[in-house]
Structure 1
Amino acid sequence: MARPQPKDSLEAYKHISPDSGFPTIIHPHFNPKIAAHIPPDPLREEIIPPKDRAFFADPEKKALFSVAKPVDLTESIGTELQGVQLSQLNGTQLDELAALVNERGVVFFRDQDLTTEKQVELFEHFGILDKHPAQKDQRHVTIKGSNADWRDVSNYTPWPNAEFHADTSFEINPPSYSLLRMEEHPPIGGDTAWVSQYGLYDALSDHLKKFIDSLHAVHTSRLQYDTIIDSWGGQPNRPPIDTHHPAVRTHPVTGLKALNVNPGFVIGFAELKKAESDALLGFLKLHIHSADDHYVRWKWAVGSVAMWDNRVTIHRVIPGNYPPNSRTGVRTTVFGEKPYLDPNSESREQRERRLAEEKVVKANGAEKTNGIAIHEAKGTDLGAS
């Protein structure tokens, strides 16, 4: 079955070539609505968010796992918590959930009884509620699906709408946690995929890791800003912004390095020339789309919930042929810290290797110590005889 036609609201679709019969390739800046729009809110300034709730968690997560069964969906990313209602978790269990999300990137739930009000109340436990530039309600935003073929639409708008991204990574304080609860969903289609940025970083060669460690990624909201007006018919509440965040960041709770690049909002690298920047960005896009071993895909149903850490994952909705307006979710998001790189931090793979080596050394030391103790005990016995 053919995919539905892309949204005809794009300005490009009002300019048809008499020769080909297709829309001319016209940048949305030519849409006069973009220049005419005056955002009502100012640009944001940096804030210091509350201390991450995961810092308060028991590393063993005994309270959470006493009421929920964790099932890891892949080695690298994604855990489903079974037999639990989010609405029934107490503060201690929510802190441990935050820690689990830090480690596993994204945590899933089925058949949840959350209402929108309860979801907002629950998520305020994790920090200060964030507001997307296109979001009207401070507390939450409605998420739809993607039933247009954006490989085609990309001819007519510069924002890669259905690409992997971390939510509003262009902000000075990009979000830490996001939670999406599905209210309506088609029986098939509309899946969401996540990729671990811990894993993406580990999968690079050591030489390339060192190089990317030294770079700042240029995140921009400008392309999305144009598309919100041109394609969505919306009115962004903040002006567009460009930020330079470390291309590799350190997670404040786990202390691990993660790649901090996504095709949805990153347009280059501050320290590089244009051709160099484009080449590296092209490679990283291929790297992301090739990361089957650091990828998880979630099949939604009504009542399903996903909570993820934008600092160490990227995600995208998989385009599909399902009917328009058949997929509706409610997303809540909280502010995170300004991204930073601690040069002394390690990657997930480095830590696992170090801990394994320390375990061997400790075991060998204990064996050696026991051997000396046995020898000395035997020597004492011989002397006594």
Structure 2
Amino acid sequence: MARPAPKDSLEAYKHLSPDSGFPTIIHPHFNPKIASHVPPDPIREEITPPKDRAFFADPAKASLFSVAKPVDLSESIGTLLEGMQLSQLDGKQLDELAALVDERGVVFFRDQDLDTEGQVKLFEHFGTLDKHPAQKDQKHVTINGSIVDWRNVSNYTLWLNAEFHADTSFEINPPSYSLLRMEEHPPVGGDTAWVSQYGLYDALSDHLKKFVGGLHAVHTSRLQYDTIIDSWGGEPNRPPIDTHHPAVRTHPVTGLKALNVNPGFVTGFAELKKEESDQLLQFFKLHIHSADDHYVRWKWAVGSVAMWDNRVTIHRVIPGNYPASSRTGIRTTVFGEKPYFDRQSESREQRISRLAAEKAKKSNENGVEHTSELSIHASNGVNLGAS
């Protein structure tokens, strides 16, 4: 079955070479609406968001797991919670859900009874609701179907639409948590894939970890801004921005290092020349698309929900042949902290190794103590055999 053609609303499609079939230029400023648009809202200033709810959670998550069965979908990322309704969780259980999302990157649910009002009310527990530049309603944004394949669209526009990204990572305060609830969905197609940035960082060589840890990635909204106007026919709320964030960040709750690079919004590295940036970005694109051991793919259905942490995951919709109008979801997000990097923080693999070593040491110490006790009892003529 042939894949549908990309959206023909892009201005570049009106400027194709009759010989090659490709646009004579791909810069979207061909569209005069981009230059004439005046966003109604100013560029945001940095804020201090409310304390992450995961800080208030029981690390064992006993309350959450008393009503839900966790099923890990891969070793690195993704957990399905079975047998529960999000609408029935209390504040303590929601805090523990936040902690689980921090650790597993994305958590999934089936057959949920939430409606939009209930989703908004529930998600306000996790912080201050964010607003996407294309979003009209402060409380939520509607996510429509996407059949666009970035490998094709990149021939016509500079923005890699539908590539791996973290939601609005270009903001000075990028979102921490996002939640998407599906209201309409085709029986096949429209899956979403997530990749763990904990895992992406761990998979680098030690030398590259050190090098990238000294860089700042340039996250830009400019290409999406142009596309919102040119392709979507929208009117962005805020002017385009470029923001420098650490290329490796430390998660405030888990204390773990994660890569902070995504092809959807990162255009370079502040400390490098353009040629160097381009080559490093090309490597990271390959690194991300090769990360099948740090990857999970979710098959949606009506009533399915995913909650993820944008600080330690990236995601993309998988393009397909389904009608775009058959896929509709409601997404809510909340503000996160300004990304930071603590060089003394651990990676996930480092923590796993450290905890295993500490456990082995404790076990050995207990074994020595137990052996000493046996020697004492034996010297006193105590029968240590079966009674």
Question: Aligning the two structures, in what range does the TM-score lie when normalised by the shorter sequence?
Answer: over 0.9
Q: Structure 1 residues 20, 371: CA separation in 2 closer, same or farther (over 3 Å shift)?
A: closer
What's the CA shift for 1:279? Answer: 1.0
What's the CA shift for 1:379? Answer: 4.2
The aligned amino acid for 1:278 is D
1:134 and 2:134 equivalent? yes
**d(CA) in 2 for partners of 1:250, 1:320:** 35
Q: Structure 1 residues 21, 195: CA separation in 2 closer, same or farther (over 3 Å shift)?
A: closer
The aligned amino acid for 2:116 is T
The aligned amino acid for 1:123 is F
Aligned residue for 1:375? 375
What's the CA shift for 1:151? Answer: 1.9
What's the CA shift for 1:202? Answer: 0.6
Aligned residue for 1:86? 86
5 Å-filtered alignment, 1:116-195, equals: 116-195=116-195
CA RMSD of aligned residues (A): 1.2
| 3-state SS, counterpart of residue 102 of structure 1 | helix
Q: Structure 1 residues 61, 148: CA separation in 2 closer, same or farther (over 3 Å shift)?
A: same
Tell me if structure 2 keeps the 8 A contact 1:3–1:149: no
Q: Deviations over 1:69-103 (max 9, x none)?
A: 10000000000000101011110110000000000
Aligned residue for 1:200? 200
Give the TM-score of the pair, scaled to structure 1. 0.97
| 3-state SS, counterpart of residue 334 of structure 1 | strand
Aligned residue for 2:8? 8
Q: Percent identity among equivalent residues? A: 82
Aligned residue for 2:212? 212
Q: Structure 1 residues 19, 281: CA separation in 2 closer, same or farther (over 3 Å shift)?
A: closer
Aligned residue for 2:241? 241
Aligned residue for 1:228? 228
Tell me if structure 1 keeps the 8 A contact 2:48–2:337: yes
5 Å-filtered alignment, 1:334-349, equals: 334-349=334-349
Tell me if structure 2 keeps the 8 A contact 1:59–1:96: yes
What's the CA shift for 1:274? Answer: 1.3
Aligned residue for 1:26? 26
Tell me if structure 1 keeps the 8 A contact 2:148–2:161: no
**d(CA) in 2 for partners of 1:213, 1:203:** 14
Tell me if structure 2 keeps the 8 A contact 1:25–1:155: no
Q: Structure 1 residues 236, 109: CA separation in 2 closer, same or farther (over 3 Å shift)?
A: same
Q: Deviations over 1:85-130 (max 9, x none)?
A: 1011110110000000000000000000000000000000000000
Aligned residue for 1:351? 351
Q: Which runs of 5+ in 1 are unaligned?
A: none
1:293 and 2:293 equivalent? yes
Q: Deviations over 1:234-272 (max 9, x none)?
A: 100000111110100000000000000000000111111
Count of aligned pairs between the two proteins? 382
Tell me if structure 2 keeps the 8 A contact 1:145–1:319: no
Aligned residue for 1:266? 266
Range moving further from structure 2, 325-334 or 370-379 = 370-379
Q: Which runs of 5+ in 2 are unaligned?
A: 383-387
Aligned residue for 1:73? 73
What's the CA shift for 1:20? Answer: 4.1
Tell me if structure 1 keeps the 8 A contact 2:22–2:156: no
Give the TM-score of the pair, scaled to structure 2. 0.96
Aligned residue for 2:251? 251
**d(CA) in 2 for partners of 1:287, 1:20:** 31
